[in-house]
């Protein structure tokens, strides 16, 4: 028996397309998926294509344990350190963030390419929307390989010389790193680190109380963003909820971005990812479509026809190398 939603889609699609044409499109859609698609799923896909089916956005307090394919939005209140896991020689990365809206807050877990976006592209204070997330048994909202994240609004950045007392995000260049300052706290020795942040000819002292080891990883001249910094007594003070994000380093040729365009190129695929044109050769072409390999009897052209549109808008991490004036993918990162 068709669900109430499918029946609603059917009625609206019939009104727009006519019954005969709609039935033809349903059968065509099922055939395109080798008969593996249900009639209801085919109706949903056609309804999305026609703009009839729209994602229903849920407030954070309305998300329940059993929910899947969740669409929600909120402000990033905190980002925890990146975690790495290795299984069967495959390294996966995840990061937890605290997402909040007017109704409450929840923990959102991001994986691999989406996780990497929290270390340069998206930060604390930004408003984001996520699609296709699901609730885990641990009560966390998880955004897997099929999920998408969009930044709705970037947090404002402060300017040195115009800062008022309070919490700020700010970008600048590391000008000078000072000596550590040891002190006693609750009978234990701790240390405070500090450095000078330059921005447009002006400088501010940054004092790091929590995670002072992060300062030892900085380099003079490095472009950074500081998030959740408390401006007080003419200093930017970094506590437990603050963090420093490097903006100017490249890690072994890896970069992340949104898949904007995909096209067949001979035995491979050329993709537009984060504004860069990257060529995926024969071996990595299936991976560009979210496949580990091409099934027996299925050509790259067929896989592209079935999967190509689904990949547009997703985030992909790519390690690319320039060859003959073009960037060629050498590895990709997905969940």
Q: Residues 156, 157, 159, 163: is their CA dihedral positive or negative?
A: positive
CA distances from 273 to 68, 167, 170, 256, 329 (A): 28, 34, 27, 8, 11
Both tokens assigned to 14: 């019939």
- The number of distinct structural domains making up the chain is 4
Which of 132, 153, 174 delimits the end of a domain?
Answer: 153
Would you say residue 310 lies in a domain?
yes
Read off the CATH number of the domain in which 309 is found: 2.40.50
Q: Are residues 99 and 145 in the same domain?
A: yes
Indicate if 104 and 129 belong to the same structural domain.
yes
pLDDT in tens, the chain (335 residues): 456 777 888 888 888 888 999 999 989 888 877 777 788 878 878 887 777 766 678 899 988 888 888 889 999 999 999 998 877 767 788 999 999 999 999 999 999 888 988 988 899 999 999 988 999 988 999 998 778 898 989 899 999 999 999 999 999 999 999 988 888 888 888 889 999 999 988 999 999 998 888 888 888 888 899 999 999 999 999 999 999 998 754 455 666 677 888 999 989 999 988 778 899 998 889 988 988 788 888 899 999 999 888 888 787 778 888 888 888 988 877 64
Residue 223, pLDDT score: 86
Whether 80 is covered by a domain: the verdict is: yes
264, burial (CB in 10 Å: exposed 0-12, middle 13-18, buried 19+)? middle
Q: Which residues pair with 332 in a beta bridge?
A: 318
- Whether residue 177 is found in the same domain as residue 133: no
Domain annotation covers residue 274: yes
Which CATH number is 242's domain given?
Answer: 2.40.50.140
Is the residue at 160 inside a domain? no
In a domain, 161, yes or no: no
* 272 and 320, same domain (yes or no): yes
Provide the domain limits for residue 29: 4-49
Verify that 170 and 212 share a domain, yes or no.
yes
Please check whether residue 328 lies inside any domain of the structure.
Answer: yes
Q: Which of 219, 246, 273 is the last residue of a domain?
A: 246
Per-residue pLDDT, 204: 96
Regarding whether 173 and 137 lie in a shared domain, the answer is: no
Q: Are residues 70 and 149 in the same domain?
A: yes
Are 258 and 239 contained in the same domain?
no
Cα 328 to chain center, whole Å?
Answer: 23
pLDDT value of residue 1 = 45
Looking at residue 232, what is its pLDDT? 95
pLDDT at 53: 65
Q: Which residues pair with 87 in a beta bridge?
A: 90
- Do 268 and 299 sit in the same domain of this protein? yes
Q: Are residues 72 and 40 in the same domain?
A: no
Q: Are residues 41 and 84 in the same domain?
A: no
Instruction: Indicate the residue among 86, 120, 153 that finishes a domain.
Output: 153
């Amino acid at each position: 028996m068709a669900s109430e939603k499918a029946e609603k889609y059917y009625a609206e699609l019939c009104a727009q397309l006519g019954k005969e044409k709609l039935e033809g499109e349903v059968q065509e859609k099922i055939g395109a998926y080798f008969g593996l698609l249900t009639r209801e799923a085919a109706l949903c896909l056609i309804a999305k294509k026609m703009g009839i089916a729209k994602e229903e956005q849920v407030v954070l307090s309305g998300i329940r344990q059993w929910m899947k394919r969740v669409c929600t939005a909120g402000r990033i209140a905190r980002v925890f350190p990146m975690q790495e896991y290795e299984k069967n020689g495959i390294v996966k990365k995840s990061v937890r963030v605290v997402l909040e809206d007017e109704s409450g807050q929840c923990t959102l877990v991001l994986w691999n390419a989406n996780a990497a976006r929290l270390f340069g592209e998206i930060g604390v204070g930004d408003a984001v929307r996520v699609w296709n997330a699901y609730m885990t048994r641990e009560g966390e909202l998880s955004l897997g390989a099929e999920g998408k994240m969009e930044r709705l609004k970037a947090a404002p950045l402060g300017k040195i010389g115009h800062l008022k007392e309070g919490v700020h995000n700010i970008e600048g260049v590391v000008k000078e790193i000072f000596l550590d300052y040891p002190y006693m706290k609750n009978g234990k020795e701790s240390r405070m680190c500090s450095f000078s942040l330059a921005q447009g000819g002006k400088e501010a002292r940054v004092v790091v109380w929590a995670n002072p080891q992060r300062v030892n990883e900085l380099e003079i001249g490095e472009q950074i963003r500081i998030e959740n910094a408390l401006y007080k007594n003419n200093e930017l003070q970094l506590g437990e909820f603050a963090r420093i994000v490097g903006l100017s380093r490249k890690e072994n040729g890896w970069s992340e971005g949104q898949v904007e365009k995909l096209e067949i190129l001979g035995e491979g695929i050329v993709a537009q990812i984060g504004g860069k044109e990257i060529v995926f050769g024969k071996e990595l072409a299936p991976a560009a479509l979210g496949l580990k390999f091409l099934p027996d009897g299925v050509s790259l052209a067929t896989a592209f026809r079935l999967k190509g549109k689904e990949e547009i808008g997703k985030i992909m991490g790519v390690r690319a190398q320039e060859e003959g004036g073009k960037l060629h993918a050498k590895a990709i990162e997905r969940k």
